[in-house]
Chain A
Amino acid sequence: MKFCTVKQYFDDENNNNVTNGIATTVIPLPNKHLKIKANNKEMEQYEQELLRNVMPQELTKLILAANYLNFKEALDFFCRTVANAIQNKSVDYVRKFFGLESDFEPGEEEKLCKEFAWSFEGVDED
């Protein structure tokens, strides 16, 4: 299944959706995934490494590539990586990570923070 789409990509030279660099990260994934599927700890370490080497902007492209290649395992993996990246972080950190601005009405954000007061303990320093 996966190899069909990849082959198609290589055959289609006019394809601009996936740059070369991304391909070299995404495509070796199935082998790597199968090899270390049994070992969760290794997967975690690989995840950490990937996170260090890859900028958040790259993640967008990686996800789009995985999506285009219909590569479910890679997509899940990248989504998990993003989730881990924003684990135990503050609202501002998450905002910056996604490049978002607060578009709430005045006072609405304050209301939300009060509503979710229980979630604000023990958050990492930015």
Chain B
Amino acid sequence: MDLEAVGDLVLHTILSNLTPKDTAIAACVSNKLKSSASADILWSKFCSQELDLNEPIDPLGNPTLSFKACYQAWREAFSKYPWPLVMRVKRCWGRLKNWLSINFPEAEATLRKGVSEIEIQESERILKVKLPLPTRILYRFCDGQEFKAKKSSGGAGGSSLGLIGGYSFYTHSVNVFLLPLNEAVLKTKAIIRQIGLSSRSKYIVVAASYTESKFFFLDCTTGQLHVGTVNLATEGEMIPCVPNALISSVHDSNGDQQQDAMLLWLEEHARRLENGMIKLREKGGTRSISLFPEEPPLCSTAITNGVKVRASAVFVPEIADLEDERRKYTFSYSIRMSLLSEGCVINGIPYSSCQLQRRHWIICANDCVESDVNDEAVIGQYPLLLPGEKEFVYESCTPLPTSLGSVEGSFTFVPGRLVDPKGAPFEVEVARFPLQLPDYIF
């Protein structure tokens, strides 16, 4: 067809329907096409669509002279990887960093810049493994988190900025960080030696909580992620963290369906943060990502006479003991109670406060009652609720012989205070919430 006859505007319209690849090919055809194909408006669209970039910034964070130069720089920097996978990984980190920058900037500040190909190869050489493709690209974009492993003198661990977050109940406190590659190498060597995981020589530690020994291992051969149970040190016992069926082609650079557990795990985590299933929690002046679900169906809510109770549970893999029939799985649950701003209203009569006296707690495993407890207080406390105040939150835990169960119950509250009751005690519902081994374990 005759380009001269149709004119430049038509040529531009034709080019604007092309992919970046075909636009590049067009630029190699002749001077005229090179000029039209170099129009930066075309490349700014590609940078926006494929890399979510509104300004021309190269992979190292430096501005480039044009969007075309920017796109080129990205393609060259990742030329050895399937481009759709690169875009997918970039999007995943983009979502996580975006959520952090809005909600948890102090944690975003701990994210390290990506490693180079040379550093990846060196780590692979030392550990004698070959990282799955998606994980390599994940490290190219971000090399884990800067952290201080030393506990502060306050004894609280001093590190609450883990990207994966955690939970705490009684003295058990967990906050999971993503390890930088060089830390991963050191930690892997130390643990493999300590535990003697010679059969797991292709496993590397990728995430950990420095309190309570919670470690996540990436199996470089299969691409699956595993978390150590209570028997990690003695038996090397672990639980897979991602549905096996989803993992595919982790070492195949020819397809475009590569996904390993690390990528799937981080994408799922991003999803949960974005849809509010998990949120930041503030406790004792420190903020951290809490893994207790905040939304139904995993989190139940009930309001009785103005007293609102929210409840949800999280699976605790590092205490799970797959060899113990009775106490195979352990769940921690978080109960949040508050008094609505209208106050405590019983039969139309308002009271300005109420206080917890007793609990009735029923735990079921597979619909069979495991325990039915009727006792005073909650974790030894008698919370006093005032209207419109912040939630009173407490955490506890329960072992379970099965991977599925539930908790429900009620609290006995007294209007006014226990030392000065203003009326008769009343029951407040704790709506049933599930105890469930999740498909993604964090």
Chain A residues packing against B (C-beta within 8 Å): 56-57, 59-60, 63-64, 67, 75-76, 79-80, 82-84, 86-91, 94-95, 97-104, 109, 112-113, 115-120, 123
Contact = CB atoms under 8 A, between A and B. Distances in A.
B22 A86 contact: yes
A115 B25 contact: no
A18 to B, nearest CB: 14
A84 B22 CA distance: 10
Given A94-B29, A117-B79, A75 B24 contact: no
Interface in B1-34: 1-3, 5-6, 10, 13-15, 17-22, 24-34
Contacts of B5: 60, 64
B213 interface: no
A64 B4 CA distance: 11
Q: Is the interface of A mostly helix, strand, loop or mixed?
A: helix
A60 B26 CA distance: 18
Contacts of B34: 112
Given A99-B2, A104-B31, 5 more contacts: A60-B5, A76-B13, A79-B10, A86-B26, A91-B28
B58 to A, nearest CB: 14
A63 B29 contact: no
Nearest to B6: A63
A98 B13 contact: no
Nearest to A82: B14
Nearest to B31: A103
Contacts, number: 101
B76 interface: yes
A69 to B, nearest CB: 14
A84 B15 CA distance: 10
20 contacts: A64-B6, A67-B6, A83-B22, A86-B26, A88-B22, A89-B22, A94-B29, A94-B33, A98-B29, A98-B33, A102-B29, A102-B30, A103-B32, A104-B30, A115-B72, A117-B76, A117-B79, A118-B76, A118-B79, A123-B25
Interface residues of B, number: 31
B422 interface: no
Nearest to B19: A87
Contacts of A116: 24-25, 27-28, 72
B287 interface: no
Query: Which of A97, A119, A120 gathers the greatest number of chain B CB atoms within 10 Å?
Result: A119
A72 to B, nearest CB: 10
Contact of B17 (A83, A109, A118, A119): A83
B151 interface: no
B128 interface: no
Interface string B112-135: 000000000000000000000000
B75 interface: yes
B3 A100 contact: yes
B27 A99 contact: no
Contacts of B20: 119
B10 A90 contact: no
Nearest to B37: A116
A103 B75 CA distance: 27
A119 B26 CA distance: 10
Contact of A99 (B1, B15, B17): B1
Query: Which of B3, B5, B10, B34 gathers the greatest number of chain A CB atoms within 10 Å?
Result: B10
Given A60-B6, A86-B22, A88-B22, A100 B30 contact: yes
Contacts of A117: 76, 79
Contacts of B31: 103-104
Nearest to B22: A87
